Amino acid sequence: MIVRLLNHVATLVLAVGTLSVAAFAQTFPTDDPVIKQIWTEGMENSQLYPLAQALLDSIGPRLPGSPGNDAAVQWLLSQYERWGISARREQFGTWVGWRRGVTHVDLIAPRVRTLEGTMLAWSPGTEGPVEGGAVIFPDLPDEAAFSSWLPNVRGKFVLFSFPEPTCRPDEVWERLATQESFEHLKNTRDAGRGAWNQRFRKVGARRPTDVMSAIEEAGAFGILTSLWSEGWGVNKVFYTETRRVPALDLSCEDYGLVFRLAENGQAPQIRLEAESEFLGEAPVFNVVAEMRGTEKPEEYVVLSAHVDSWDAASGATDNGTGTVMMLEAMRVLHLAYPSPKRTILVGHWGSEEVGLVGSSAFREDHPEVMKGLHALFNQDNGTWRIDYLKAQGLVAAGEYFGRWFSKIPLEIAQHIDLDIPGTPGRGSDHMSFTCAGAPGFRLQSHYPEYRQYTWHTNRDTFDKIVFDDLMNNATLAAMVAYLASEDPAQMPRDQLVLTEGEWPGCFPPRRSMP
C-alpha cells in the first residue's frame, strides 16, 4: 500500500489534490518549538552550499583507499569538532591505496583530436608518453585462435568494448525519428551487442576482464573501453583489474571514432600519458558522530550516508549530497535539540561502492547499536527531493511513520509517498541493517535522471545539486531523527511474511582488497 503523507491523526490519509505554497513557507501542524527551530535553522540558515562546495570542488572524489577519501574523513572530523559535536573515525579494514594523476590521450593519426578519456580506478599509468596503433578485440573461434592472435597487441591499444552505433539518447530517437528508423536502430544494436559479448565467450572468458591479463602480458600499451550511460555526454566509469598497463574509458563519441578508424583500415594512432601511483595497503574508515542520549542512551537513532564515491567526477549526487545532508542535519540537531532522549548517531560510511563494506562492518563491530537500534534513515541519491519511503517489510513501522509525519510541515510531508509495509529493498547502506531485521529505512529521491546522468558517471558534479531540495532533505532528516528520538517505545521488529523467497540475509564485509 502506497499512501501520501500529508496528515495523520490516528491513521494515514491519502492526499487529494495539490497544495500551492510559497517557497519556504511554513505550515506547521504542531506548536512543537523544536520542530520550528529545526525549520528555521535548516531552511533559513542553511550551511549546505559552503559544505558541498568544499567537499565536492576542493576535496573532490573519494575513491576507497585514495588520498581524496582520507581528506574527506579528516574534513568531516574537523567540521564536527568546529561545531562541538563528538565524532570519531573507526577503521574497518584496508584497501589498495591509489592516487590518480593527470591523463592526456590524443588521436594523432590519421588526424589530430584530443580525446575525452578517463583512466579507470586502480589503473596503472604509463612511464611517460607512449604512442601506438589501435586494434579491435577480434571475433575468434576458440582459445587456440586467441593465443595465436595475442602477439598482434604488442605496442598497441586494444579496443575492448562494443561501439555504440549512436550516442544520441533513445528518448530523442523515439521523439524525432520514424518508428521504422528507431526499431531498425534497436534491432541492429541489440544484435551487435550480443555478437560482441560472444567474442569473449568463444575464447573461454566468462567476462571481458578475464582475458585482460593475457593482453597485458603480450605487451599491449593499454586497453580502451567505453560504458555509455545512454545520455548526452555521459559514461559510467568504474575500475580495472589490470596491473601492468593502463585501462581507459573513452567517451561514447571518441571511442566510436577510434573504433571506426581501426575497423576501416585507416590506421588510428594514439598517444597516451597517464599518471597514477599505488600507495600500498591503506586503512579505510567510517566517520561516526554522536549526540549521547539523556534518558535512553542505549537506544539509537542513526542518520546514514556513505562518503566514498567513484572518481571520474566529483561524486556529487552519489553521495556527496547524502554526506552533507546528514552533516547539516546533525548541525541543526545540535542547535535545536542538544539533549536528545535517545542517542543520535550519524554514520558516514566508507567503501559503500565496493559492497556496502563500511556499514556492514559497523553492523558486525557494534552489536550494542544493533540491539538498541530504534530507527536508521539512509540517503544515497540526492538529485531531488525525498519523495518515497518504504517500511522495508517491518509491519509496525507504518504507525511510527504516521506519528512522526503528522508533526512535519506540509511543505515537506506533501511530497512523500509511503510504502507500507513494503518489502526489504537493496541498493544502499540501509540494507546492511535491514538484512539483520533491524529498522533501517531509505529516504529516497526521484530516480530516472539520476540513474542515467549522474549515478557513477563522469558528470556527477557540484552543478547538479538542487539546493532548495537538499535543504528540504536535511531539514526532514533532522526532524525525523528528533521525532524518532522522542518516541515512548522502541520500534518492534515484526517482519512481513514474504510470499516469494526469504528475508535477505547479511553478507560479511570484505575488509580488504587484494
Q: Tell me the pTM.
A: 0.93
Torsion, Cα 436 437 439 444, to 10 degrees, reads 70
Structurally, the chain folds into a number of domains equal to: 2
Cell 544520441 -> residue:
168
Domain boundary residue, one of 213, 242, 267: 267
Phi-psi category of residue 65: left, alpha or beta, with phi > 0 → left and psi -120 to 50 → alpha: left
**Same-domain status, 261 and 406:** no
Find the CATH number of the domain harbouring 298: 3.40.630.10
Domain presence at residue 81: yes
pLDDT at res. 498: 83
**Same-domain status, 196 and 309:** no
**Same-domain status, 388 and 417:** yes
Domain presence at residue 511: no
pLDDT at res. 16: 25
**Same-domain status, 203 and 295:** no
**Same-domain status, 92 and 122:** no
Domain presence at residue 14: no
**Same-domain status, 291 and 439:** yes
All 3 cell numbers of residue 88?
570519531
**Same-domain status, 297 and 415:** yes
**Same-domain status, 393 and 314:** yes
- Please tell me the distance from the alpha carbon of residue 253 to that of residue 247, in angstroms, as a whole number: 18
**Same-domain status, 465 and 327:** yes
**Same-domain status, 400 and 341:** yes
List the one residue out of 12, 15, 40, 29 whose CA is nearest residue 409: 29
| DSSP sequence for 189-242 | HHHHHHHHHHHHHHTT-SSGGGGHHHHHHTT-SEEEE--B-SSTT-BB--B---
- Please tell me the distance from the alpha carbon of residue 441 to that of residue 426, in angstroms, as a whole number: 11
Find the CATH number of the domain harbouring 210: 3.50.30
Domain presence at residue 183: yes
- Please tell me the distance from the alpha carbon of residue 143 to that of residue 196, in angstroms, as a whole number: 16
Tell me the pLDDT of the chain (514 aa) as tens digits. Answer: 665 443 333 333 333 223 333 345 578 888 999 999 999 999 999 999 999 999 999 999 999 999 999 999 999 999 999 999 999 999 999 999 999 999 999 999 999 999 999 999 999 999 999 999 999 999 999 999 999 999 999 999 999 999 999 999 999 999 999 999 999 999 999 999 999 999 999 999 988 888 999 999 999 999 999 999 999 999 999 999 999 999 999 999 999 999 999 999 999 999 999 999 999 999 999 999 999 999 999 999 999 999 999 999 999 999 999 999 999 999 999 999 999 999 999 999 999 999 999 999 999 999 999 999 999 999 998 889 999 999 999 999 999 999 999 999 999 999 899 999 999 988 899 999 999 999 999 999 987 899 999 999 999 999 999 999 999 999 999 999 999 999 999 999 999 988 777 788 999 999 998 6
Domain presence at residue 312: yes
**Same-domain status, 331 and 385:** yes
pLDDT at res. 24: 53
Where do runs of H (alpha helix) occur along 337-445? 357-365, 367-372, 397-405, 410-413, 431-434
Domain boundary residue, one of 267, 297, 314: 267
- Please tell me the distance from the alpha carbon of residue 293 to that of residue 290, in angstroms, as a whole number: 9
Domain presence at residue 272: no
Query: In Å, how far are 142, 275, 474, 494 from 148, measured between CA atoms?
Result: 10, 32, 59, 61
* CA angle, residues 177, 178, 182, in degrees to nearest 5: 70
DSSP code, position 414 = T
**Same-domain status, 313 and 219:** no
* CA angle, residues 53, 56, 59, in degrees to nearest 5: 105
Tell the burial category of 26 from Cβ atoms under 10 Å away from its Cβ (0-12, 13-18, 19+): middle
Domain presence at residue 106: no
Q: Could you tell me the residue range of the domain that residue 382 belongs to?
A: 2-7+27-97+283-486
List the one residue out of 490, 479, 482 whose CA is nearest residue 412: 479
Domain presence at residue 507: no
Domain boundary residue, one of 234, 267, 300: 267
**ω before 421 within 30° of 0 (cis)?**
yes
